[in-house]
């Protein structure tokens, strides 16, 4: 049994425990910012280490945990999103009256759950990793005890999330009853189209995972939670949590249920279209930037899900590429929201009025992020959508690509409304925005990576293709 393949997971858990211990010994009145720096450097070190795991194909504990290119790629998504999130969380955490150290520790434990999900190779391990992540997010969403919105969002997420977990677990029990196994490879050998119990279990699992991904029609929780949660946690839900959901969705449906492709493709196509259309249309009416991004994320999940229709390496490659660049686009947007909120602004789009005059750099960061989400060249979002749409067209789903293209063009309207507010409206006050170094660094990375991948996508596309190929 080769425990060394668990190095990344062990390291992230030890880092979280170390932060909790330091939090106990630090004087109560002393700032916990140093714990944030420790968390950021630790996550960066683990991220760098994961590059050494490319090319591996090893299992542990009788195959329930696997490290392959697919798992490593998703772990890097989780780690880079957490690292950038930590950069613009320092000042938010500094403003908390208590539990500052616990915030960083809980964040790292959530990442550990995501990493377990990426490497899980049986249904039980998937569920354990999912619940480790989800239970911690229940806490973090309601972490701002002084905010009624945060407490309300935490309670809503707890109730709805628990219900979705029950549906997912119930589906897993049907699959186990129909196949006699929880191992994905063994399930794939037992799959038959004539087994209605298996189809029922598959449908329930798709519904449970669809909730975690905020895919229509299981999206009802996302806008309220995104608006009420602390902004750094909203960012993590939009980035890491969504990526983790796609990791288990791809692993389960391709590794275990490819023989039932004719059935689940119908459901996936319906959910993708409903997400793209519903998320885009409702986002147009929003005046709160976090709610707008919440509905936008539903549409973005629809674009990613469309790649699964191709059910081949090219489709999954497009999904992985788009998921990674979506992280960087979100970082650019949320860094601006945090910076504006730090200077007394709210989450209303109107509070971004005249941002180009108060801070041209932050206005640029938000603009690049939104244009990338809209899929406008030369932003990376254009390349990601191009990969996905080309993959589905090659498999005969031209209609899906047309719907995706039309919804992308419509989304330009509400994204440009934000840009218009920043550049064409007068600021509410003349006080300049002071950009803190960590927030400026996160926004800079977002801008540079988004532009670089839009112009030269080959390095990331190569990694995404290598990751996708390991599923077959």
Assess whether pLDDT exceeds 90 at residue 189. no
Determine, yes or no, domain membership for 279.
yes
End-to-end CA distance of the chain: 24
The top-scoring range by mean pLDDT among 52-56, 143-147, 202-206 is 202-206
The whole-number average pLDDT for the span 64-86 is 92
Assess whether pLDDT exceeds 90 at residue 150. no
Assess whether pLDDT exceeds 80 at residue 95. no
Q: How many CA atoms lie within 13 A of 268 on its CB side?
A: 26
The whole-number average pLDDT for the span 455-467 is 93
Determine, yes or no, domain membership for 160.
no
Quote the pLDDT of residue 29.
67
Quote the pLDDT of residue 258.
85
- Identify whether the C-beta of residue 204 lies closer than 8 Å to the C-beta of residue 168: yes
Average pLDDT, rounded, for the chain = 88
Assess whether pLDDT exceeds 70 at residue 453. yes
Question: pTM, whole model, 2 decimals?
Answer: 0.93
Q: What are the tens digits of pLDDT across the range 340-385?
A: 877 666 778 888 888 888 888 999 999 999 999 999 989 999 999 9
Quote the pLDDT of residue 366.
93
Determine, yes or no, domain membership for 115.
no
Note the residue count of the chain.
472
DSSP designation for 429: S
Q: What is the DSSP string of 383-417?
A: HHHHHHHHHHHHTT-HHHHHHHHHHHHHHHHHHHH
Determine, yes or no, domain membership for 424.
yes
Q: Residues with Cβ < 8 Å from 14, sequence gap 6 or more?
A: none
DSSP reduced 3-state for 2 = coil
Q: Using CA atoms, how far apart are residues 355 and 305, in angstroms rounded to an integer?
A: 34
The whole-number average pLDDT for the span 421-448 is 85
Determine, yes or no, domain membership for 141.
no
The rounded radius of gyration (Å) of the Cα atoms in the chain is: 21
Quote the pLDDT of residue 359.
86
Nearest to 130 by CA among 159, 179, 168: 168
For 319, the token pair is 């999904």
Quote the pLDDT of residue 344.
66
Assess whether pLDDT exceeds 70 at residue 115. yes
According to DSSP H, which parts of 142-260 are helical? Answer: 148-179, 184-190, 196-213, 222-228, 231-236, 242-255
Assess whether pLDDT exceeds 80 at residue 145. no
Among left, alpha and beta (phi > 0; psi -120 to 50; other), residue 99 is left
Percentage of residues of the chain with pLDDT beyond 70: 97
The whole-number average pLDDT for the span 455-465 is 93
Q: How many helices (H) and strands (E) does the chain have?
A: 21, 2
CA torsion sign for 369, 375, 377, 379 is positive
DSSP reduced 3-state for 167 = helix
For 44, the token pair is 């960066």
Angstrom distances, CA of residue 7 to CA of 45, 197, 353: 12, 38, 47
Instruction: Please list the residues that pair with 348 across neighbouring strands.
Output: 288
Angstrom distances, CA of residue 366 to CA of 82, 229, 412, 451: 19, 20, 14, 13
Quote the pLDDT of residue 345.
62
The whole-number average pLDDT for the span 397-413 is 93
The whole-number average pLDDT for the span 135-152 is 83
Determine, yes or no, domain membership for 371.
yes
Q: Residue 175 — pLDDT band, cuts 50, 70, 90?
A: very high
Quote the pLDDT of residue 129.
94
CA dihedral 52, 58, 61, 63 (to 10 degrees): 140
- Identify whether the C-beta of residue 252 lies closer than 8 Å to the C-beta of residue 259: no
Quote the pLDDT of residue 124.
92
Q: Using CA atoms, how far apart are residues 371 and 6, in angstroms rounded to an integer?
A: 38
Q: What are the tens digits of pLDDT across the range 153-168?
A: 888 889 988 999 999 9
The whole-number average pLDDT for the span 430-447 is 85
Tell the burial category of 193 from Cβ atoms under 10 Å away from its Cβ (0-12, 13-18, 19+).
exposed
Q: Using CA atoms, how far apart are residues 458 and 449, in angstroms rounded to an integer?
A: 13
Assess whether pLDDT exceeds 70 at residue 97. no
**Tally of domains in the chain:** 1
Find the domain containing 362 and state its range.
263-472
Determine, yes or no, domain membership for 91.
no
Assess whether pLDDT exceeds 80 at residue 55. yes
Determine, yes or no, domain membership for 38.
no
**What is the residue whose two structure tokens read 């932050």?**
362
């Amino acid at each position: 049994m080769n425990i060394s393949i668990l190095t990344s997971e062990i390291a992230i858990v030890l880092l979280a425990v170390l932060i909790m211990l330091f939090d106990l010994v630090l004087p109560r009145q002393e700032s916990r910012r140093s714990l944030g720096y420790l968390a950021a450097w630790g996550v960066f070190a683990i991220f760098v280490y994961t590059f050494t795991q490319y090319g591996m194909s090893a299992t542990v504990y009788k195959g329930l945990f696997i490290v392959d290119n697919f798992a490593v790629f998703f772990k890097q998504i989780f780690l880079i999103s957490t690292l950038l999130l930590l950069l613009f969380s320092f000042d938010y955490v500094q403003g908390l009256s208590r539990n500052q150290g616990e915030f960083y520790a809980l964040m790292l434990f959530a990442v550990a759950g995501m990493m377990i999900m990426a490497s899980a190779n049986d249904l039980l391990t998937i569920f354990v990793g999912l619940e480790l992540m989800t239970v911690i997010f229940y806490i973090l969403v309601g972490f701002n005890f002084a905010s009624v919105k945060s407490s309300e969002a935490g309670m809503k997420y707890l109730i709805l999330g628990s219900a979705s977990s029950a549906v997912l677990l119930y589906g897993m029990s049907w699959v186990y009853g129909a196949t006699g196994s929880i191992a994905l490879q063994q399930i794939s050998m037992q799959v038959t189209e004539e087994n209605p119990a298996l189809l029922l279990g598959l449908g329930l699992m798709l519904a449970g995972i669809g909730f975690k991904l905020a895919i229509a029609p299981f999206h009802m929780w996302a806008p309220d939670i995104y608006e009420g949660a602390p902004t750094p946690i909203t960012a993590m839900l939009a980035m890491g949590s969504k990526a983790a959901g796609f990791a288990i969705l791809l692993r389960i449906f391709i590794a275990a249920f490819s023989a039932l492709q004719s059935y689940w493709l119908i459901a996936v196509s319906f959910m993708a279209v409903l997400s793209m259309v519903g998320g885009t249309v409702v986002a147009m009416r929003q005046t709160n930037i976090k709610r707008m991004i919440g509905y936008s994320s539903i549409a973005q999940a629809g674009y990613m899900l469309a790649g699964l229709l191709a059910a081949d390496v090219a489709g999954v490659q497009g999904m992985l590429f788009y998921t990674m660049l979506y992280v960087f686009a979100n970082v650019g947007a949320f860094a601006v929201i945090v910076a504006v909120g730090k200077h007394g602004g709210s989450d209303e789009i109107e509070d971004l009025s005249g941002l180009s005059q108060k801070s041209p750099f932050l206005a640029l960061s938000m603009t690049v992020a939104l244009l990338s989400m809209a899929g406008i060249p030369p932003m990376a979002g254009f390349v990601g959508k191009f990969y996905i749409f080309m993959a589905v067209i090659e498999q005969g789903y031209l209609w899906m690509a047309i719907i995706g293209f039309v919804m992308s063009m419509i989304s330009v309207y509400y994204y440009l409304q934000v840009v218009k507010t920043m550049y064409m409206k007068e600021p509410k006050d003349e006080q300049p925005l002071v950009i803190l170094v960590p927030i400026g660094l996160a926004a800079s990375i977002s801008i540079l990576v988004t532009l670089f991948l839009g112009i030269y996508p080959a390095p990331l596309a190569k990694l995404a293709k290598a990751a996708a190929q390991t599923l077959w």
